[in-house]
């Protein structure tokens, strides 16, 4: 099990690394896309208990963690921000869940759960530390250096000058 906060941290770090956005929209849609899949923990038991849906793809890590669910989430959030940021947030969630027990990636086409069972506690800690480091160094960079026109080499040089 990956904590919701870890999903958000990883999504924010991925969006920063991929886009280095200064505006809030990419981070907002990435965070929402990263927490949306786990809405099944709260919503699906009600639907299953009411008899509206049944089967393994309607369990936790089912439909909301599938490619179809991802398309719906990214399409919906693209109204509020860049679709690539929403996709990055959703994919980061699925990747973390993939290595901590698996997901029903192709639901509802098949009810096969894809993934491996890794150490979720260690993964939570490592992902949190790496993500917070990226976010803090990135926010410091945006505040002090402040240009998105720099090449990755310029960013590395600025980082080395400041910290190395
Ligand atoms: Zn999940």
**Higher pLDDT residue, 100 or 157?**
100
Looking at the predicted structure, is the pLDDT value of residue 162 above 80? no
Identify which has the larger pLDDT, 115 or 155: 115
How far the first Cα of the chain sits from its last, in Å, is 36
The reported pTM is 0.81
Q: Ligand 1 mean position to 149 CA, how many Å?
A: 35
Q: Is the pLDDT of residue 63 over 80?
A: yes
143 CA from centroid of ligand 1 (Å): 33
100 CA from centroid of ligand 1 (Å): 10
Residue 72 lies in domain: 4-163
What's the number of domains the chain is made of?
Answer: 1
Predicted local distance difference test score (pLDDT) of residue 86: 97
Please give the mean pLDDT across all residues of the chain: 88
Determine the distance separating the centroid of ligand 1 and the alpha carbon of 123, expressed in angstroms.
14
Do 28 and 80 form a contact (C-beta atoms < 8 A)? yes
Mean pLDDT calculated for residue range 60-88: 96
Give the separation between CA 18 and CA 160, rounded to whole angstroms. Answer: 20
Closest alpha carbon to 162 in 146, 148, 147, 141: 141
Coil, strand or helix at 18: helix
The stretch 2-15 carries a mean pLDDT of 92
The span from the CA of 108 to the CA of 79, in Å, is: 25
CA of 70 to the centre of ligand 1 (A): 12
Residue 65, pLDDT score: 96
């Amino acid at each position: 099990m990956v904590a919701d906060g870890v999903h958000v941290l990883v999504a924010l770090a991925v969006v920063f690394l991929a886009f280095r956005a200064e505006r809030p929209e990419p981070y907002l849609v990435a965070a929402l896309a990263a927490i949306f899949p786990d809405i099944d923990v709260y919503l699906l038991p009600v639907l299953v208990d009411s008899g509206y849906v049944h089967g393994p793809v309607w369990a936790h890590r089912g439909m909301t963690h599938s490619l179809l669910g991802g398309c719906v989430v990214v399409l919906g959030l693209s109204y509020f921000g860049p679709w690539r940021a929403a996709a990055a947030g959703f994919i980061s969630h699925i990747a973390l869940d993939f290595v901590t027990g698996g997901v029903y990636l192709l639901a509802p086409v098949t009810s096969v759960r894809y993934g491996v069972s890794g150490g979720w506690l260690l993964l939570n800690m490592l992902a949190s530390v790496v993500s917070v480091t990226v976010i803090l160094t990135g926010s410091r960079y945006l505040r002090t250096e402040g240009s998105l026109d720099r090449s990755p080499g310029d960013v590395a040089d600025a980082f080395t000058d400041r910290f190395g």
